[in-house]
Structure 1
Amino acid sequence: MEKELINNSQSNIYPFHMPGHKRRGSDIGEGLDPYAIDITEIDNFDNLHHAEGIIKDAQAEAAALYGAKRAYFLINGSTCGILAAISAATKMGDKVLVARNCHKAVYHALYLRQLHPVFTYPEITRTGLQGQITEAQIRAAFDENPDIKAVVITSPTYDGVVSDVAAIASVAHAHGALLVVDEAHGAHFGFGGGFPQNAIALGADAVIVSLHKTLPAFTQTALLLLGGMREAAVEKFLGIYETSSPSYVLMTGIERCIHYVRDNKETAFAQLRSKLDRFYQKVSGLSHLNVVRKSDFSADEAYDFDESKIIIFTKEAMNGHTLLELLLKKYELQLEMAAGNYVLALASVMDTDEGFDRLADALIEIDSQLEKYKSDFEEFYDILK
């Protein structure tokens, strides 16, 4: 494994995938030797589960950055935060309104707490992607199930579709229920650049953000942010679900990420938006591939869309897996994932102009070759080998 990881880090393969630091750690601080700072809860270094010193201070900085009442470091990833938030929001056997396109950790919480789910289903957009959960759906669910105690939604989705969190929070609170938002893919929300506002600012009671997905932080690092949820209940369940041996390497990575965003949010997210706008403009004339924009969704399909999720539909030319393989093998671009007829590239504030140019140029070349060889795709694939 070590050899393969080193080879990958030294290759020319550009990472349009998680984690959001894009292997550019030196750009957010001086290099760290992980072995030199890997300790346990020794004197003067606090304890994550009973934070009273440096960890407490670092968590307070995270809370201030997001405008939350409290913030908790998650070393088990967002999974841990989802389990803790849902458990804290409910009693055993409660009824919970759940968006059907949720993370598997939500289902695990339902199982562990013996909760009774009322499922609501996302809109299916014209593109075939799963869309938003609407305020009307939440109202209808409460009309039929007034004893719902908590609402759990995912916003943004993996594909970047955003729901109207403020409206959903208002409905939930009007019925005495708590709102838990899995915002794992929206850790960059609320810092400008034309990206959506974060769910804490919109009235959610608990929000889980994966720093490592879209910000410069190590894999497995996340935050649980509190709005209206009781701290004691959350801390009880974090003590159950989170590791008793938290990594100081990962916690230091969280702190570095928070400091980076705090010190650079006025410029970093505006610069990312500028790079994205330039990329989308370059690929706007494609014929056989389609790069999705916010304007491709109707108001019924998506309340908002996060354009740092670059979705490329293949139309009739090829399937998503073929495009992903082609981009990797010929153009040395590693994307996040492929589905039946599209691929997903993830962008972050650490992406470079060179990376966006490589992706745009690759798509333009592939598209032009598809036009030339559209009557003989086999010959097209031979040309690009």
Structure 2
Amino acid sequence: MIIKPKFRGFVCATAHPEGCAYLVKKQIQYVKAEQQLEGPKRVLVIGASTGYGLASRIVAAFGCGASTIGVSLEKNALHNTTATAGWYNTVTFEKEAAAAGLYSRSINGDAFSNEIKEKTIELIKQDLKKIDLVVYSIAAPRRTDPATGEMSSSVIKPIGKPFTSKTINLNSHDLYDVTLEPASEEEIRQTVKVMGGEDWQLWLETLENAGVLAEGVKTVSYSYIGPELTYPIYTGGTIGKAKEHLVATAKLLNDQLESVGGQAFVSVNKALVTQASAAIPVVPLYLMLLTKVMESKNINEDCIEQIYRLFADRLYAAGGRFDETTVIRIDDRELREDVQAEVLQLWEQVCSGNQDVSGAVERFRREFLNLFGFEYENIDYEQESEAEQGHPHILTL
């Protein structure tokens, strides 16, 4: 079939297999070109098919030579639909890992469920015996508690009072004011339930009880704080409450992992173009201006560059035990004073109508579509593609 981008609101409902493969291979090539790392050798990535989770799996495998197990929830093609981008990413990763002689297995299912946790442990015991790094990188809109059956949904809202700011229409390029109403206590509770640290803790407890955590194991989960400009809908909003819970969970896990000499971290990463960020008021405009400023200073980073730096300079620096506090900051370049000062200056110029952002909008749109395999110059999108793809190392439950 010939595959084109199709949208449902802010959601891209199609993905291009060749384009997704190109994105994954490009990240692998970046890691191979860098210095090989003395890092983990048996790695579990929970949320391994896109974004920071996929980058973590690539750095572990192709930067450290690690055997990896990835857990994610994606869909293969069905009838006249394409697979999800994460499915094509996983297929490509499995092919590239096999070609490089690296052990790799992928479990496709609901990571929040007990069934997937049990199946993962079964696979670890069978093939790897122990895990020395657990990466938790799930950003889901909803979660079912396996103990109670309760379904919780996350929201991105301010707390306490409404928040009004400028945002941009990605189609017309028009700026307009948007107001977000404050979250209710129940919305806050459910957001923490979905995006806080509860499931991360359940995974580590389950893995520890099963005896599959290696001595000196590390675990890391990912977070975002952002600048004052987006504070009301991030750090000061519902997501901020969830991330506070995540940090508190890391501290609890540090105590629980003492028996195996383990450590737990929350890595605060920089802002990136994602499917979620395109739908959040204020954020696309901020990202456009941030990218412009950081590129002008030659300090911009994508997922793979951030995670390589996390492994090389923080988690596995000099191959020794890493003793930083629970929270690791690799958003340091985004939040540099000079960067934020220039972003704010541009923001004021844009909002007053004194700055043309058409080029920035087109770049944001292109980066967004790249996530789904579209808008790459080296791919002929008029050619037929095989939408349904698979790999024997992907186990779907």
What TM-score does the superposition give when structure 2 sets the normalisation length?
0.29
Structure exhibiting the larger radius of gyration computed from Cα positions: 1
* Structure with more contact order per residue of length (Cα contacts < 8 Å, sep ≥ 6): 2
